[in-house]
Each structure stands twice: as structure tokens, then as C-alpha cells.
């Protein structure tokens, strides 16, 4: 893999830390700013909303820019946003800064995916995307625990200051290592691109992403109470168990990319089926501590094994559309899945059968995603949502 790919990985690392570190700092943020834990938790939802909105909008606005310029501009937004978080005088300002920072997230991964696939031969595209997303997995293993530790000992503002420095480092390596565009920037009409994305094959691919990842976050959002209240772990043991989850993330991400290069469609179905089985098994396996640790690692592996295949699959189905725009829409779909899963898990806890049944309900999401993927994989469909060319032949 070329060095430029690892520059993209550095950017993904910084963005991953920013997205997830707030989960470990809700108590500190709430106490310092005088808001409830529930209000502090909305900082996570606000970030996800920023990703969903920013991914397509910024991709359209920067469509005619050279991709390297886009990546550097996005990292500049990332740096400014995290600096603003560190200096936020109040809750409202912090929320606005979080949303502004999130605007760069989807487009960075969307455009970065296209740049990554352009750096390698055609038979290694999924692996290239997986390498870039490794930055996100390493952020969960190293960046988030370290950022949480910094926030607990030096204040939550120090965490965002540290992430700002990570952004500066990522900006530097991207500027130095990512090559200039080999071709002219995409100059298509965004309306035509959007019409192509609104075709049924692409929409079904995006729906597959939303449903698949909703299953992951329905459980991951509530993994701490599951481990302590269902499996019987002490709170201090949660972080080491989550380290196992992080190791699973890296392994699943790289394996999913490798298999997708060999057989894309089979990998999409296989990884979703594995995720559904792991989630269902957690319902009973979490009753035993040893099984809970093993299943937590398998959740990370199965969950992230879907990322590269789903990203490449949506790109392969978006014929006639801007690849950057299609890729950004899929990143938005991942984050929409995050929000949907967190909401569904909370509904099961508050209004449903309770915390212990969250994994079983979560398993329904990837199971439904398999059905949607099967519909999307049909070689022809008479229905087309929006105006544009007819359906694309199935790719896989």
C-alpha cells in the first residue's frame, strides 16, 4: 500500500477520536457546563446530524475542487472545530462547534475513499478503503481511551486541544504525501448526480448500510451497562473489555476488505449474516463473563467487517453519479445507522423487554439488511426513485 494511503489513515484517526471520545467525557462536560447527562449526550446526536447533513452538502459544494484540496480544506475545518470545542464558553457554543466539526467527517471519508481506491490497482480497492478506515478503528483502541484519560485528569478541554494537534499533524502528512489529482475534478451537474443516486439500486444499497450499522450501535451504545448489569463486570473492567472490541474492529476491517476484493457480493451477505448471528448470540452469551468478552471482540470484528464491502458496493451501484457524492452519502448512511441503533436500543430498555434483550432486537437490523441487499442485488428493477438513468446491473 502506498504511503499516501496512510496519510488518509492519519486523518481518519483524528476524526474517529473526535466522534467517539465525547462518550467517555459526558460526566465531565455536564458538570463543567452545568447541564444534565442527557443534555451532554445530545452532543453525540448533534455530531451525527452534522455528518448526515454535511456529507452530501460539502461534497456538492467542493465537487469541482481537486480532491487533495478538498481533503486539506476538510482537515482545516476539523482543526478549527476542535479548537472551538476546547475554547467553548458554554453548552450552546460547544454544540455548534461539534456540529461544525462533524461537517467535515462524511465528506472526508467519502472523498478519501475515492482517493484511496485511485491509489491502488482495481483488485485492491476494498483493501485500500479498509486501510484508511483502520484509522477509525485505532482511534477506538488508542485515541479514545487516551483522550478520556486526558479529559479526566486535565479537563475535557485538554482533550479537544490534543485532538486539535492531531488534526494539525494529519494536515501536514496529507499535504506532504497525498499526490495531486491525476485527472480533472468532477464537473458534473449535482442535480444529475443526485438523480443517479436516487435510483432504487443505490437507495437500497444505502438502506443496507443504515440497517447493518444500526445493529452494531444498538448494542455498542449500551455496552457498558450490558457488561456491568448483565455480565457482572465491575465498572473498572469495562475499558479492558472494550480493548478486545477494538482489536476485533481492526481484524474485521482488514479481513472484510480482503474478502471483498475477492468476491464483493458474497462478502456483503456473509458479513451481515455474521453480524446478525453474533448479536443474537450475545443475548444468551452475555450471561457468562468469559463468553461476554469473546462476543464483544466478535461484535467489533463482525461490525467493521461490513464497512469496506458496503462502501465499495454502494460505489459500484452508483453508475452515472459522482463517486465522491455516492461515497459521502454512504458515510452519512453509516451515521444514520448509528443514530437509529442508539434510539432503538434505548427504546428497548425504556419501553420494551429491557436491557438484556437489546442484542436480540439489534440482530433484527442486519437480518433485515440481508433481505434489502438481496432485493438490491437483483439484476434489474422496474422501479426508479427520482429521475435518471435506468437501474444498473448488479455488481459483485
pLDDT bucket at 211, cuts 50 / 70 / 90:
very high
pLDDT tens string 259-291: 888 888 899 999 999 999 999 999 999 999 999
Q: What is the model's pLDDT at position 320?
A: 62
Q: Give the DSSP per-residue string, 292-315.
A: HHHHHHHHHHHHHHTHHHHHHHHH
pLDDT at 220 over 50: yes
Grid coordinates belonging to 74: 476538510
Grid coordinates belonging to 147: 483522550
Q: What is the model's pLDDT at position 37?
A: 61
In whole angstroms, give the CA distance from residue 149 to residue 160: 12
Domains and CATH numbers, the chain: 1-183 (1.20.1250.20), 188-396 (1.20.1250.20)
CA dist list (Å): 28 to 37, 151, 178, 335, 338: 9, 8, 38, 25, 23
In whole angstroms, give the CA distance from residue 178 to residue 360: 43
pLDDT tens string 103-152: 888 888 888 887 887 777 877 777 787 788 788 778 877 787 788 788 87
Grid coordinates belonging to 352: 420494551
In whole angstroms, give the CA distance from residue 91 to residue 287: 39
Amino acid at each position: 500500500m502506498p504511503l499516501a494511503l496512510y496519510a488518509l489513515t492519519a486523518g481518519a484517526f483524528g476524526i474517529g477520536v473526535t466522534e467517539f471520545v465525547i462518550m467517555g467525557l459526558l460526566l465531565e462536560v455536564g458538570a463543567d457546563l452545568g447541564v444534565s447527562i442527557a443534555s451532554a449526550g445530545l452532543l453525540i446526536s448533534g455530531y451525527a446530524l452534522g455528518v448526515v447533513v454535511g456529507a452530501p452538502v460539502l461534497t456538492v459544494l467542493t465537487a469541482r475542487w481537486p480532491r487533495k484540496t478538498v481533503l486539506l480544506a476538510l482537515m482545516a475545518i476539523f482543526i478549527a472545530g476542535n479548537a472551538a470545542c476546547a475554547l467553548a464558553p458554554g453548552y450552546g457554543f460547544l454544540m455548534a462547534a461539534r456540529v461544525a466539526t462533524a461537517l467535515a467527517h462524511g465528506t472526508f471519508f467519502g472523498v478519501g475513499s475515492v482517493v484511496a481506491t485511485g491509489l491502488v490497482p482495481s483488485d485492491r480497492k476494498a483493501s485500500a478503503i479498509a486501510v484508511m478506515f483502520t484509522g477509525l478503528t485505532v482511534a477506538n483502541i488508542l485515541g479514545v481511551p487516551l483522550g478520556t484519560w486526558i479529559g479526566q485528569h486535565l479537563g475535557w478541554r485538554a482533550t479537544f486541544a490534543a485532538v486539535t494537534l492531531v488534526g494539525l499533524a494529519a494536515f501536514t502528512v496529507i499535504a506532504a504525501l497525498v499526490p495531486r489529482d491525476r485527472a480533472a475534478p468532477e464537473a458534473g451537474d449535482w442535480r444529475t448526480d443526485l438523480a443517479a443516486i436516487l435510483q432504487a439500486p443505490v437507495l437500497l444499497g444505502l438502506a443496507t448500510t443504515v440497517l447493518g450499522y444500526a445493529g452494531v450501535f444498538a448494542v455498542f451504545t449500551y455496552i457498558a451497562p450490558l457488561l456491568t448489569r448483565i455480565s457482572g463486570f465491575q465498572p473498572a473492567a469495562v475499558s479492558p473489555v472494550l480493548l478486545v472490541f477494538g482489536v476485533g474492529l481492526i481484524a474485521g476491517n482488514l479481513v472484510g476488505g480482503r474478502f471483498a476484493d475477492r468476491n464483493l457480493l458474497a462478502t456483503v451477505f456473509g458479513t451481515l449474516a455474521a453480524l446478525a448471528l453474533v448479536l443474537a448470540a450475545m443475548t444468551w452469551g452475555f450471561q457468562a463473563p468469559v463468553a461476554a468478552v469473546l462476543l464483544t471482540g466478535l461484535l467489533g470484528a463482525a461490525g467493521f467487517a461490513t464497512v469496506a464491502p458496503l462502501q465499495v458496493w454502494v460505489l459500484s451501484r452508483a453508475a452515472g453519479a459522482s463517486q465522491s457524492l455516492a461515497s459521502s452519502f454512504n458515510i452519512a448512511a453509516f451515521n444514520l445507522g448509528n443514530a437509529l441503533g442508539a434510539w432503538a436500543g434505548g427504546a428497548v430498555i425504556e419501553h420494551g423487554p429491557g436491557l438484556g434483550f437489546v442484542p436480540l432486537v439489534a440482530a433484527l437490523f442486519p437480518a433485515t439488511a440481508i433481505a434489502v441487499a438481496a432485493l438490491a442485488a437483483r439484476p434489474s428493477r422496474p422501479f426508479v426513485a427520482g429521475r435518471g438513468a435506468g437501474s444498473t446491473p448488479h455488481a459483485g
